Amino acid sequence: MKFNLLLLVILTFSLVACAGLAKTPTALPTVLLGNAASTPVPTSVAGVSVTASGIVVDDQEAHMAFSLAGNVKLVNIVLGDQVQAGQILFQLDDTTQQIELEQANLALRELTSPEAIANAKLAITTAQTNVTNAQLALNNLQYWKNTALIQNYYSNYVLAKANLDKAQTAYDNTHAGQYINNANQAAAYNTLYTAQQAYNNAQYYYSLYSQAPTQTQHDQAQANLDLANATLKNAQVYLAALTGGTVPVDATGTALLQLKQDQLAVQIAQEDLDATRLVAPFSGEVASVAASVGDYVSTGQIILVISDVNHMHIETTDLSERDVPKIKLGQAVTVSIKALNQDLSGKVSAISPTADTLGGDVVYKVAILLDTLPSNLRSGMSVDVLFNTGQ
């Protein structure tokens, strides 16, 4: 019996071998087991197509964490929820941040109050007066070149000296002792005092305008003018900053610096408050939730994953380096979604410029955009990809 069975097997292989000599063997159909038994596999034509395995990938996936540590105060979502961009998903206890923001706002409001604006306007008028005086002082240093003016001051000086001598003589004639004893002596002293002041004033101006100023005097006058102009400019810029006017990017000044620091303090406090909330960066589906109300979360701890289930694409996982030169952008592709038993058309949208390794083989990732997205398509589903190379 065993001999007969062995002979039957030998005869069978002999017949198959003889048939192979007669014509090219016909490929047997692929048999798939389980749920994939009826899934159509893209047919590859020799020399025309390239095949690869792949996976469904979300266009966007956000792994979300807080930038500061704290206790969870509010959770607005559960696993599987659909969320909208801008929706608050998680919130930490924000008591401290609320207080810090209010304090920063109080300081800024005080600095920009009506009283502060009035003082800023007053500072401008004071600065303008100082500029005028400083300019006059600098100009006065040039009067020594004016001969007529110097002669006039010299004439005043001569007259003042004569008046002083005359007043001194009159006082000496009426004043015999140490003390003033009568009205005549008092009048004479008053005349002498006035003449002395007039002489001092005339002597000062004659001396001032009859001699060239020193370099130090000129430098000091110029520095005073420069300082007055800078103070005026800063005062004007500060008022503009307080009242919503245009402020140059290179503006300086102590008052402006304080204003900017207070504004920055408000901005930082607001950012710290905003950091106590996790907000959906795009519309999508909650793919993972890893914290509950009352939990303490650390900085950077991933507690939430949002997937953009409305925008997905295909990425290959094992496209060989031998096949990637045959792939072009825009190339037509057929994608077989194994779990859905469905074939879909698409196009190549990106080809990675760098390689990966898979089991020692060099592979390249290729992204594919599907022409349509089935409603039941899920990220992570495996696919077979057929590239039509047209060769």
Start-to-end CA distance of the chain, whole Å, equals: 55
**Average pLDDT score over residue span 312-324:** 94
**Average pLDDT score over residue span 72-85:** 95
Q: What is the DSSP secondary structure assignment for residue 293, as one 8-state letter?
A: T
Q: Give the burial class of 189: count Cβ atoms within 10 A of its Cβ; 0-12 exposed, 13-18 middle, 19 or more buried.
A: middle
Residue 144: its pLDDT value, please?
66
What is the C-alpha separation between 387 and 346, in angstroms, rounded?
A: 10
Closest CA to 52 of 366, 357, 348: 366
Pick the residue with more confidence: 383 or 45? Answer: 383
Residues 149-156: contacts with CB within 8 Å, 24+ apart? 149/209, 150/206, 150/209, 150/210, 153/202, 153/205, 153/206, 153/209, 153/210, 154/206, 154/210, 156/202, 156/205, 156/206
Instruction: Place 8 in a pLDDT band, splitting at 50, 70 and 90.
Output: very low
* Residue pLDDT, tens place only, 102-152: 999 999 999 999 999 999 999 999 999 999 999 999 988 876 677 888 889
- Just give the CATH number of 61-93+276-307: 2.40.50.100
Residue 176: its pLDDT value, please?
61
What is the C-alpha separation between 8 and 59, in angstroms, rounded?
A: 59
Residue 48: its pLDDT value, please?
60
3-state secondary structure 113-167: CHHHHHHHHHHHHHHHHHHHHHHHHHHHCCHHHCHHHHHHHHHHHHHHHHHHHHH
Say if residue 198's pLDDT is above 60. yes
What is the C-alpha separation between 260 and 251, in angstroms, rounded?
A: 11
What is the C-alpha separation between 156 and 161, in angstroms, rounded?
A: 8
**Average pLDDT score over residue span 198-224:** 89
Contact 73, 293 (CB under 8 A): yes
Residues 99-108: contacts with CB within 8 Å, 24+ apart? 100/269, 100/272, 100/273, 101/266, 101/269, 101/270, 101/272, 101/273, 103/269, 104/262, 104/265, 104/266, 104/268, 104/269, 105/266, 105/269, 107/262, 107/265, 108/262, 108/263, 108/265, 108/266
Say if residue 53's pLDDT is above 80. yes
**What's phi and psi for 337, nearest 5 deg?**
-85, 105
Pick the residue with more confidence: 388 or 278? Answer: 278
Q: What is the dihedral of CA 185, 190, 193, 195, to 10 degrees?
A: -110
Residue 140: its pLDDT value, please?
80
Pick the residue with more confidence: 17 or 224? Answer: 224
* Residue pLDDT, tens place only, 289-300: 999 999 999 999
Q: Tokens at residue 353, please?
A: 């410029």
- Just give the CATH number of 36-59+311-388: 2.40.30.170
Please report, rounded to a whole number, the percentage of residues in the chain having pLDDT higher than 70.
Answer: 86
Domain boundary assignment for the chain: 36-59+311-388, 61-93+276-307
* Residue pLDDT, tens place only, 20-39: 333 333 332 322 333 333 34
Say if residue 351's pLDDT is above 50. yes
What is the C-alpha separation between 253 and 237, in angstroms, rounded?
A: 9
Say if residue 5's pLDDT is above 80. no
Closest CA to 328 of 348, 352, 356, 353: 348
Say if residue 252's pLDDT is above 50. yes
CA 287 vs CA 62, 80, 304, 326, 382: distances in Å: 10, 6, 8, 36, 18
Residue 20: its pLDDT value, please?
35
Residue 182: its pLDDT value, please?
84
Contact 370, 385 (CB under 8 A): no
Strand 70-75: give its sheet, edge to edge. 277-279, 88-92, 70-75, 296-297
